[in-house]
Structure 1
Amino acid sequence: MASTYDLYRKITALPQGKRLFSIAFSQKAPYFASIHLKVDEMSPHFAQITIPKRRSVQNHIGTVHAIAVCNGLEAAMGLLAEATCPKGARWLPKGMEVEYLAKSTSDLVCTAESTAEAWANGPDVPITVKATRADGTVVVAGTIHLWVTPKK
């Protein structure tokens, strides 16, 4: 079976490929569909998605709800992990630490980044995540910790 990263590279080479991949990815983990994400980039050690500011993700003050932002951060982390995890290993999120730094008043770009060193020093692999508004302000920043172990 093709890996998620292989599918990303194959599908995004097609016209409307990023849109099609975003839909497929959202269906793999249906909760991701609730934020209407768009996959912008997926590669080893980096992934980026966009969450549009829509009524369905807003809270009572009209900003993107903190949990919707965390959902976007986890989606970006999952893409990074799928593209980075070594063959013969598996990953599982084991915790998330985030700080809410500013109001989420626009579409948000969620990124996840890691280093080769972090993956080599596992099994606890920290992934740096952040969500940025359209004006460049970081609204949420944190770390998602992965547990990376050999497949049995």
Structure 2
Amino acid sequence: MSQVLSLWKNVSGLPVVGQSVGKRVFSVAFAQKAPYFATIRPRFTELRPNYAELVIPKRRGVHNHLKTVHAIALCNGLEAAMGALAEATIPADKRWIPKGMDIAYTAKATSDIRCIAETDPAQWTGSDPDVPVRVKGVREDGTVVIEGVIKLWVTPKK
């Protein structure tokens, strides 16, 4: 089991009113792996192999000139979800690096945004080094505001 998934399993169940203390601890620790993740203050809500979900709180620090969540903040949220998914899913004998992102902005991000990353188990076991991760951002009312694919390059560890 990866360090990221192990940390999630060990701390995410620590309770408190609202989001668990453990989920907050995990979210802060994960955001330190890549400091730009901290700019969106991600709140991880779920993590398991092939699935990751986090929330970007709508706040002034991520607003654009329209007072909606900025497009690049949304991309950072999707990339954080994808990175957590990749760390929780990848076989121990492989490594990954992102190699591209195809994204469509489909609606205004006028609330907190739930960022979701998903893959299928078979994507990680084949010989094809290209692993597309499906990503989307969803407004509180269920409207998809951003969606696309983050492409990973997955190769054997040397």
**Fold equivalence (TM over 0.5):** yes
Match of 2:105 in 1: 100
Match of 1:44 in 2: 49
* 2:25 is equivalent to residue 27 of structure 1: no
* 2:157 is equivalent to residue 130 of structure 1: no
CA deviations over 1:66-109 (Å, ceiling 9, x no partner)? 00000000000001001110011111000000000000000000
Moved over 6 A (4+): none
Deviates more, 1:7-16 or 1:96-105: 7-16
Unaligned segments of structure 1, at least 5 residues: none
Over aligned residues, Cα RMSD in angstroms?
1.3
Inter-partner Cα distance in structure 2 for 1:138 and 1:76: 16
After superposition, where does 1:1-152 map in structure 2 within 5 Å?
3-15=3-15, 16-121=21-126, 122-152=128-158
CA deviations over 1:91-146 (Å, ceiling 9, x no partner)? 10000000000000000000000001222333100000000000000000000000
TM-score (norm 1): 0.96
Secondary structure (helix, strand or coil) at the match of 1:79 reads: helix
Q: Which amino acid aligns with 2:10?
A: K
Inter-partner Cα distance in structure 2 for 1:7 and 1:95: 27
CA deviations over 1:28-67 (Å, ceiling 9, x no partner)? 1111000011011111000000000000000001110000
Inter-partner Cα distance in structure 2 for 1:64 and 1:14: 30
Inter-partner Cα distance in structure 1 for 2:124 and 2:157: 15
TM-score (norm 2): 0.93
Unaligned segments of structure 2, at least 5 residues: 16-20
Q: Which amino acid aligns with 2:81?
A: A
Post-superposition shift, 1:14? 2.5
